[in-house]
Copies of this chain bind each other. A is one copy, B any other.
Amino acid sequence: MTGEVAARAALTRVLEPGDEHGGRWLRELGAVELMGRLTGGGTEPAALTGVGPERLAGYRRRAARADPGRDLAAAAEAQVRFVVPGTPDWPTQLDDLGDARPVGLWLRGAADLRAWALRSVALVGARACTPYGAHMAQSLAGGLAERGWVVVSGAAYGIDGAAHRGALASGGATVAVLACGVDVAYPRGHAGLLGRIAGQGLVLGELPPGSHPTPSRFVLRNRVIAALTRGTVVVEAAHRSGSLVTARRAQGLGRITMGVPGPATSALSAGVHELLRGEAFLVSDAAEVVELVGGMGELAPERRGPVLPRDLLRPATARVLEALPAGRPAQLDAVALASGIGVDEVIGRLYELHSLGFVERQGDGWQLSRQRPGGSTQTGGSRRGGR
């Protein structure tokens, strides 16, 4: 077992999410060398400093049991991908986590995570939310989807579920970041929802297939949500809730933190109000969210035209782009028909093209961006062509 990908797949069985000792070893030694030392003979592996002998023995036990070949084969069978840093699929935003960066990500779904993450917003909040909170999550998610933004959440009951559903219901893109293996339906009642997210969007996590969630894994999962997205909106949260941890983490990473206000009498808004007393921005609809997260110049490709030459697009993505008519928006099914690609995948490709600045959403449909490569402006048919 010598490959970087296999070594990292094995390490997802050895290192718990966010293990900064492991992250440092990885940075200093590389994955292959680190696995080599952990699985090497009986002598104490050199350079693995910072942890006690007992903990090190635990790492070595887990490393000895890891079978990345089997894991990767089973994943491929189940159409689960494994994506590692430094490859074109890796969302480089996660590098901001430093030594707490995930070793790799297991992914269900066809979408281009790297492109999607460029235009993504996290919606998080209480499991036991109020009808008001669920309404706000669903309507914010729908509004973000309609504006071409990807909604990222944690697939939990309550706000998370409402956010994913709101995005799906608007024909939008959504990403569920799990605290367990991507093949594990947790919570059980969201098995169907997770299937729909994987079909139309992405389900991902750092933990290898079959892993179950633990309280600390939930907390550490939140750092991935925070780092992956350009901003985090807390919809409803009680004092001392996990969503506030995500929000503060996002803040610490330089992401934009937002909160949806609610009645001062609601315990489920108290945590959000606490955030709003600090650095978080108050938002009451999707337009306000987009105004905040979309204002970061270098990350707003639609303001500058595509960020990638057309001939570097992946073949299926290029086919979807070719299928869009000139000068008017097209509906999803028309694009699917013209490109010969299924509707679910077309959604993913369109969001990818959106992130890269080639297309924009217009009401129910999609159209070519006004800004074309080279800076020329498309005029006919664009609603905003007259400005």
Contacts and interface: CB of A to CB of B under 8 A. Distances in A.
Contacts of A264: 136, 260-262, 283-285
Nearest to A281: B277
A214 interface: no
9 contacts: A135-B265, A136-B265, A261-B269, A261-B273, A262-B262, A262-B264, A264-B285, A273-B284, A277-B281
A276 interface: yes
Q: Which 4 residue pairs are nearest across A and B when measured between Cβ atoms?
A: A264-B284, A261-B261, A276-B282, A277-B282
A177 interface: no
A15 B93 CA distance: 63
**Residue of A132, A263, A276 ringed by the most chain B CB atoms within 10 A:** A263
A270 interface: yes
B261 A276 contact: yes
Interface string A263-303: 11100011001001100011111000000000000000000
A284 B277 CA distance: 11
Contacts of A136: 264-265
A166 to B, nearest CB: 14
B263 A132 contact: yes
A281 B278 CA distance: 10
A200 B152 CA distance: 56
A189 B140 CA distance: 41
Nearest to A140: B264
Contacts of A282: 261, 273, 276-277
Contacts of A285: 264
A360 B324 CA distance: 74
A383 to B, nearest CB: 26
A138 to B, nearest CB: 12
Nearest to A272: B261
Nearest to A135: B265
Contacts of A135: 265
Contacts of A263: 132, 261-263
A145 to B, nearest CB: 18
A269 B132 CA distance: 15
A237 to B, nearest CB: 14
A163 B270 CA distance: 23
Contact of A132 (B260, B265, B276, B283): B265
A213 B284 CA distance: 35
A284 B270 contact: yes
A56 to B, nearest CB: 48
**Residue of A262, A265, A277, A282 ringed by the most chain B CB atoms within 10 A:** A282
Given A132-B265, A261-B269, 19 more contacts: A132-B263, A135-B265, A136-B264, A260-B264, A261-B261, A261-B262, A261-B263, A261-B273, A261-B276, A261-B282, A262-B262, A262-B263, A264-B283, A265-B284, A270-B284, A273-B282, A276-B276, A276-B282, A277-B281
Interface in A107-135: 132, 135
Nearest to A283: B264
Contacts of A265: 132, 135-136, 284
A276 B261 CA distance: 10
Contacts of A273: 261, 282, 284
A132 B261 CA distance: 14
A359 to B, nearest CB: 30
Interface in A240-277: 260-265, 269-270, 273, 276-277
